[in-house]
Structure 1
Amino acid sequence: MFKDFYIPSYEITPLTMAVIAKPQGNKDGASYVLEEELEYTIEASPSKVMNDACKYLGSSLKGRQDGTREICGITHKAPISIDPSSGMYFFPTTSPSNPKCSWIAHSHIDQVNKAPDNCTEILFHNGKRIVLKVSYGSMLNQVQRTAQFRYLLDHRIKYLQRHAADLVAEPQP
């Protein structure tokens, strides 16, 4: 399913469907990146990839997690929005400090199914599938929490857009 070619750096895009942990012994880890059309490996843990993506857009993984906590009270395995305007919402499969933590793009999920051995299969809109060693209940909970977070953040953004004329940071001449 995954090709073993490495790229030196990587940036999350709206085409990114998942960043999956690939433990590398004593190293910091590596990640399989699953996009709509491509699959490859990078030499960085999924949480580092997510942190770098957040930094690229002016925040950090911790900053995004803090924002999630402020918006909807989720404190553990918090979903994040890398960029709400592009629909880039991701959730972790375990604690982000766990080297086995993978990140899944909420908007690309079509179905979540039970799989043998307490695993979960994720079917993406484009027909690609992955099986992760995460319980079905935990995965459904993460999908639901991400949907709640998306709804609440989207509501705030729309409120600001409706009242943009009254809330301009710099007055127009």
Structure 2
Amino acid sequence: MTQNIQIIEEYEINPNTMIIKPLSYGIKVYSQIWELDDEVTSPFKPIEIIKSSCKYFGSSYEGRKEGTRQLTGFTHKAPITIDPTNFIYFFPTASPSNPECMWIALDHINYFKRAENAQTQVVFKNKQSFIIPVSYTTLNNQVLRTALLKTTLTKRIEDSERKSLYYANGSKIINASERKGAYQ
């Protein structure tokens, strides 16, 4: 590691988190975390940051994985909802148990394109670019799966809000129609 790297003891994924990459440090695996305008290093593995961030936002990683399975049927390399209220959705580039697995935030991707050696260049909305060691097809599949998870969960939340609004206003609608009938 270079002299300028900022090591932090605790880190929760937030709306500015773009990518979490594994970083070999001796025999340990740390995480290199890029945010929109910052880069930090954590002494924890990427999967540990994903798990602690799920807990921070009120669920376990296992619960989030099960939620993904229920909503989409995905069981392998499943995308994860870190925080649905802030639209924070991450996907793994490999099996989460793979020490080379990176985690990428769906909403920060501007575009991605094929790179040399069956890799993919990901360009984020802040113009920062990374070469990811997975094929374009694999990355595209993960982006589509994460987009499906986000769309499905967002629709469920909106439907639920619409139903609760309907039920909350339902008695007012009935009372108004009853009064209208009394005056005719």
* Cα-Cα RMSD: 1.6
In 2, Cα distance between the equivalents of 1:33 and 1:167? 44
Query: Shift of residue 144 of structure 1?
Result: 0.6
* Contact 1:160 1:167 (8 Å CA) reproduced: no
2:27 is the alignment partner of 1:26: yes
| 1:171 paired residue number | none
Query: Shift of residue 110 of structure 1?
Result: 0.5
In 1, Cα distance between the equivalents of 2:64 and 2:40? 26
* Contact 1:23 1:100 (8 Å CA) reproduced: no
In 1, Cα distance between the equivalents of 2:137 and 2:167? 42
Query: Shift of residue 71 of structure 1?
Result: 0.5
Structure 1 stretches of 4+ with a deviation exceeding 3 A read 165-168
In 1, Cα distance between the equivalents of 2:30 and 2:167? 44
2:42 is the alignment partner of 1:42: yes
Query: Shift of residue 11 of structure 1?
Result: 1.1
In 2, Cα distance between the equivalents of 1:25 and 1:73? 38
Corresponding residue pairs, total: 166
In 1, Cα distance between the equivalents of 2:130 and 2:85? 26
| 1:125 paired residue number | 125
| 1:148 paired residue number | 148
2:52 is the alignment partner of 1:52: yes
In structure 2, list runs of 5 or more residues that go unmatched: 169-184
Query: Shift of residue 166 of structure 1?
Result: 6.2
SS of the aligned residue for 1:163 comes to helix
Query: Percent of aligned pairs with the same residue?
Result: 41
SS of the aligned residue for 1:21 comes to strand
- Structure (1/2) with the larger helix percentage: 2
Please give the residue correspondences for 1:78-97 in structure 2 after superposition, counting only pairs within 5 Å: 78-97=78-97
Query: Shift of residue 101 of structure 1?
Result: 0.7
In 2, Cα distance between the equivalents of 1:60 and 1:116? 37
| 2:182 paired residue number | none
Structure 1 residues 113 and 5: CA distance shift in structure 2, 3 A:
same
In 2, Cα distance between the equivalents of 1:25 and 1:62? 29
> Per-residue displacement from partner, 1:32-74 (whole Å, max 9, x unpaired)?
1000000121111111000000011121212111100000101
Q: TM-score, normalised by structure 1?
A: 0.91
In structure 1, list runs of 5 or more residues that go unmatched: 169-173
